[in-house]
Chain A
């Protein structure tokens, strides 16, 4: 009697009581539902497309686009293919993203540090900036800069002018473009030499410190080398650089470098908006370094400047970098708001015009989303590598 009951307990459970089998069953069912739903969607889509006469496949990428794009970094005209419009859009997206990342980082770090300033006025202004900008939708800010600020600028003939070289009007911002002359190679060469010299200097100061303990103002000297050497080369070579000044031609400006108003508005709005988030990240990163660290550093006799440089910043950067990258990602994604003011970014050109003309929604949406997914995965990957490199070792 007793033996039997023990046997029945120790025997394998009925399959539907075995957690492993349950889990397997559950997963198979889920997978089945997902596949079934996918199949239904694909089936519906195919029959819908057939009845609407939409073709499938990626053949459309080779067809002639037939529309112009106001700004392109790669050569483009209306006779080129839809595939080419993709590259134009992608490069424009990457351009405004890169410009935004640089500007937002600079503004964000400045404002974040200003927020912790001992100067009451500066700290309060930084606070107001952060709280105002980040609580207003980005799209509204883009509209504000584009429709309210840039549109109220004067026409090209009445441009705001600085020294006959910089012009600002409702068609955009015009800057002098540098044109390098023959001897400019010397300047590039000098720059390379300067960079090499800085590396040399760094290893020399390290060695010298090891041997004698003397510290050397590496940073200041490095900056001096980097600036002075190319400058000397520049004058030695007879100033081989000319500026192509923008000038009024007909109704608009030609020559120089121009920034179309769509790009300018998007850039300003994206940078200011993202900077307000970065500022908070920087502030909380610095505050995240515990008070004990500062105390220990002070107790060891390190003065404030060195405490900041050797103890606080290296630790704060580890806290700052991960959320900072996700802000960069957000900026790249937010650059797609370009479509609302007609800056020809990927979404505007490809998902907008190209999709409208070809009607091949599935392919176009898939490609566009694929691009953003790739950018995002790439940045996450770099992020993880970086994190692993600087990770604070613990047990």
Chain B
């Protein structure tokens, strides 16, 4: 592992294929949720995944840090293949941050403690250092003044920004966003999206499952459309929105852009 992280330091800026998914399948019982997915993401790339509900997009990104198991095919994250091996899973999760739809902040810990938890116990940082780093990230998501509060005392938008800061505190190479704005009131969506856009500007590798098409247009390098467990279309945003090829994509875009 040590060897592994050292090699990261010396890597070139745009390492190709930091995430590689090769003919990956997943079933829930007999139900085929993910069908033959293939995807390669380079370092610094920003991918937006969209699609109707139940299309398997959340399940897909949850496979990338092994919150869900795949049954067939390969997932390789930063040269580590996800198998049943616990050490592989642990090392991947260390490099991959995740933001959930329902925040999943730890309600019994303060905002600052939420952020420091993993750096202290997993990265083994001194508490003082971890707290300083956490404050830096909280400033970056613009809520340093809430550090001593408990998650339950914050608004949804604030909670989600804390969740982003918490994930960033692990200094991940990749960030996964699982519908980060779906559980928010409309007026709070923007504050979260602003943080995400700022993050994208800093060169973070990001995979976002979201319905925010505006965000996709401004930030994404590629947009992936999923339906019924398959990747139906994959294109740069300009092409994806102006000129979708597949009829299923066209239908989806029509429905979503009518609003």
Contact = CB atoms under 8 A, between A and B. Distances in A.
B196 interface: no
B241 interface: no
Interface string A315-335: 100100000000000000000
A183 B153 CA distance: 57
Interface stretch (A70-78, A206-214, A270-278): A206-214
Contact of A395 (B90, B102, B105, B153): B153
A293 B126 contact: no
B182 interface: no
Interface string B88-123: 001001101110101011111000000001101110
If over half of A's interface residues share one DSSP class (helix, strand or loop), that class is named, otherwise mixed; here it is: helix
Contact of B106 (A210, A306, A311): A311
A292 B118 CA distance: 16
Given A298-B67, A318-B108, A394 B126 contact: no
B198 to A, nearest CB: 21
Interface string B116-147: 01101110111111100000000000000000
A299 B65 contact: yes
Interface residues of B, number: 36
A301 interface: yes
B245 interface: no
A37 interface: no
Nearest to B163: A296
Contacts of B105: 296
A137 interface: no
A392 interface: yes
18 contacts: A209-B120, A210-B126, A213-B120, A213-B127, A213-B130, A292-B100, A292-B104, A295-B100, A296-B100, A296-B105, A300-B167, A301-B118, A302-B118, A303-B86, A306-B121, A315-B108, A393-B149, A394-B153
Top 8 nearest A-B pairs (CB, nearest first) are A394-B152, A296-B104, A393-B150, A213-B126, A299-B98, A300-B118, A292-B104, A301-B93
A112 to B, nearest CB: 20
Contact of B102 (A214, A292, A297): A292
A210 B129 CA distance: 8
A293 B67 contact: no
A370 interface: no
B170 interface: yes
A166 B152 CA distance: 56
A317 to B, nearest CB: 9
Nearest to B129: A213
A340 interface: no
Contact of B93 (A212, A292, A299): A299
B166 interface: yes
Nearest to B89: A298
B149 A210 contact: no
Interface string B156-170: 000000000011001
Interface string A176-198: 00000000000000000000000
Contacts of B167: 299-300
A52 B107 CA distance: 64
B251 to A, nearest CB: 32
B67 A299 contact: yes
Contacts of A215: 121, 124
Nearest to B169: A300
B118 to A, nearest CB: 4
Contacts of A394: 150, 152-153
Given A306-B121, A393-B149, A393-B153, A296 B106 contact: yes
A295 B67 contact: yes
B125 A302 contact: no
Most buried by B among A214, A298, A314: A298
Nearest to A296: B104
A369 interface: no
A54 interface: no
Interface string B207-229: 00000000000000000000000
A227 interface: no
B108 A300 contact: no
A310 interface: yes
Contact of B128 (A210, A298, A395): A210
Interface string A357-395: 000000000000000000000000000000000101111
